[in-house]
Structure 1
Amino acid sequence: MNKLVKFLLVVCAGVAVSIAVSSQVLASEANLIIPDLSSVNFLNIDGRTLLLYGMSICLFGFIFGFVQFMQIKNLPVHRAMKEISELIYETCKTYLITQGKFILILEALVGIIIVAYFGWLKQFEVNKVVIIIVCSLVGIIGSYSVAWFGMRINTMANFRSAFASLRGKPYLVYDIPLKAGMSIGMLLISIELFVMLSILLFINPQYAGPCFVGFAIGESLGASVLRIAGGIFTKIADIGSDLMKIVFKIKEDDARNPGVIADCTGDNAGDSVGPTADGFETYGVTGVALITFIILAVSDMTLQVQLLVWIFVMRLVMIIASSVSYWINGLIAKARYSNVTEMNFETPLSTLVWLTSFISVGLTYLASYLLIPTLGDGTLWWKLASIITCGTIAGAVIPEVVKTFTSTKSAYVQNIVNSSKEGGASLNILAGFTTGNFSAYWMGVVIMILMGIAYGVSAQGLSALMVAPAV
């Protein structure tokens, strides 16, 4: 406890110095005022009403995720497997409860900083400071709840996949984990969008800025703790227990060994809890950043509304694209693989990624043309859609590049295997480093090319909308 007190005192001292240094800073995202979204019509529907309709898509995402969850829960599983699954879940639950208490301690510290910065330095009204703190708690609850959901569904899906594998048919081993991933993803995005749309549509525009800032602070705090702590826990519980299993010659999956439970708990903490919370935070703060950029960079109120509505419709369209692609790919995969005894799991996954990308790109251009056909000089709708498309293509191309170096049938992977057989540990390490460097290089090349294309498109007239040219 004394160490914790000392740590908090040091942090508070650092914060005091930071506040003193930033005393001349006058601007803040919390000062943003959201324009009247109903002032502009899209397809004969005002922007506010259009986004209200869009909230039904968020509700669809909730239902989709919950239905997937119940389908997994109702799958058959051996009684002994279920007992071990629940034991791992209880251990993960203990970990998450402990992290939740730690997050609340940090939130108390962050609350002091918020009061000092916004209340004392920025001279905000008391109600605005309270709103920031309350919304930061909402952000924490969001990150924490989706992390808990991800942990719960993954512990269920793991053992149901293992039990399904006993049938000797690989399709369910592919389908169950994918179903769990889609459930987490759809629920995560839908919750995030629902909260942000609620702030845009139902909160007084004068207070929307503080709401967004508080929400971003909270979800960033929750995600960073769960991500960092999850990574540390993985290293300690996972790798530590693996080493002890080797030392004491214990079988890898002997559930009677506490180290195996610690191993599985570490996997869930590092590979499920952390990334789920991180995904929630990343999607949220990106949205806040886009809102901030549009309001600050574009002076014309009408253009602000057009771009804000367009951005959120694009996000809603992606939910539709993902669900439709998953459904189509599921029909194709089931027809091809439901009765086979061998399958390459990468094939249907790659098909899903590319199918989602193509549908997303098509819907992006279609929705942009319908919503903002006259924006700027009349060509900005396809330019903005093209910039988004570069990001969508990156999501499809980068996995293909990575697969070149990590696929089980990859020449690079086979080279590592042969190096291990012929040259021992040293050659294995060298082969791995070489493959890793090649992989990083080509990933960097792909990202640079797509970013260059996006920048080139953005230079074709988008600056005319901005208050100042790009730096």
Structure 2
Amino acid sequence: MAERRSGGTPPSSTSTSRSGGVRRAMWIAGLGLTGLLAGCSAGGGEESGGIHGGEASLVLPDFTSVSFFGMQGNHLLMIGLLVCLAGLGFGLATYRRLRDLPVHESMREISELIYQTCKTYLIQQGRFLLILWLFIGTVILLYYKVLVGFSWGRVAIILAFSLIGMAGSFGVAWYGIRVNTFANSRTSFAALRGKPYPAHAIPMQSGMSVGMVLISVTVLITDFVFRQIEHRVLRWQK
């Protein structure tokens, strides 16, 4: 009664207007996405009709027919795999060394509490990224299959490696959180001795461990792409 006397809007009318605004926003977003896909179709068309830009149309060389410093390309990629495995081994060995360093029990409990909090946030972020990927994957599917005309196998590889890239970033972030929480508590305990070197060396070792694992995982995935699906890409490009 007071709202009607003062000329206010009833609550039901307010909720209806809000829901109508949400519907209009969704329609506008849908129209914008349709316009974006229509604009992309101008550069799409048939796959064999021309050369398309982007990472999906990179021209890869035949690594069996080229050599670097007298070494065949495939053999050089194999050495790269060994280097990546060595980097992963170095990172994991540093992780174990940091874990086994002496630490006070109260500092350990605080570091574990920080780790559990960060892990909860990371899991929640991963769920959000998966929901976001559903929308991005739909756009990728519509663009490369409908507009560009790629085969189902090629589109599946693009979608699969988009997930692999997300999983790699997620895993390295998890590893970094674990190592850094180890290093923080160990550094705090080592600093109680009054010696500057342990307080400097422990954080540096944790950073080296995370960096080596990150680089090794990235190069390992790239090397796997070149070795395993290179012949398929060459067949598609022909």
For normalisation by structure 1, the TM-score amounts to 0.42
Distance, in Å, in 1 between the alignment partners of 2:103 and 2:77 is 42
Distance, in Å, in 2 between the alignment partners of 1:4 and 1:173 is 54
- C-alpha distance 49-82 of structure 1, shift in aligned 2 (>3 A): same
Aligned to 1:52: 78
User: Structure 1 residue 131: deviation in Å?
Assistant: 1.1
Distance, in Å, in 1 between the alignment partners of 2:26 and 2:103 is 47
Amino acid at match of 2:197: Y
Contact 1:149 1:184 in 2 (8 A): yes
1:130 lines up with 2:152 in the alignment? no
1:64 lines up with 2:82 in the alignment? no
- C-alpha distance 97-11 of structure 1, shift in aligned 2 (>3 A): farther
1:176 lines up with 2:202 in the alignment? yes
3-state SS, counterpart of residue 190 of structure 1: helix
- C-alpha distance 64-165 of structure 1, shift in aligned 2 (>3 A): same
Distance, in Å, in 2 between the alignment partners of 1:96 and 1:9 is 32
1:202 lines up with 2:224 in the alignment? no
Distance, in Å, in 1 between the alignment partners of 2:148 and 2:73 is 32
Superposition misfits of 4+ residues, deviation over 4 angstroms:
2-12
Q: Could you tell which deviates more after superposition, 43-52 or 88-97?
A: 43-52
Aligned to 2:39: 21
- C-alpha distance 92-209 of structure 1, shift in aligned 2 (>3 A): farther
Identical aligned residues as a percent:
42
3-state SS, counterpart of residue 59 of structure 1: helix
1:165 lines up with 2:183 in the alignment? no
For normalisation by structure 2, the TM-score amounts to 0.81
Unaligned runs of 5+ in 2: 1-18, 45-51
In terms of Rg, which structure is larger? 2
User: Structure 1 residue 84: deviation in Å?
Assistant: 1.0
- Mapping of 1:103-122 within 5 angstroms? 103-122=129-148
**Once superposed, what is the RMSD of the aligned Cα atoms?**
2.4
- C-alpha distance 78-128 of structure 1, shift in aligned 2 (>3 A): same
- C-alpha distance 9-167 of structure 1, shift in aligned 2 (>3 A): farther
Deviation per CA, 1:262-317: give whole Å up to 9, x if none: xxxxxxxxxxxxxxxxxxxxxxxxxxxxxxxxxxxxxxxxxxxxxxxxxxxxxxxx
Aligned to 1:30: 56
Distance, in Å, in 1 between the alignment partners of 2:134 and 2:151 is 20
Contact 1:31 1:209 in 2 (8 A): no
3-state SS, counterpart of residue 88 of structure 1: helix
Deviation per CA, 1:353-392: give whole Å up to 9, x if none: xxxxxxxxxxxxxxxxxxxxxxxxxxxxxxxxxxxxxxxx
Aligned to 1:81: 107
Deviation per CA, 1:55-75: give whole Å up to 9, x if none: 111111000111111111111
Higher RCO, 1 or 2 (CA under 8 Å, sep at least 6)? 2
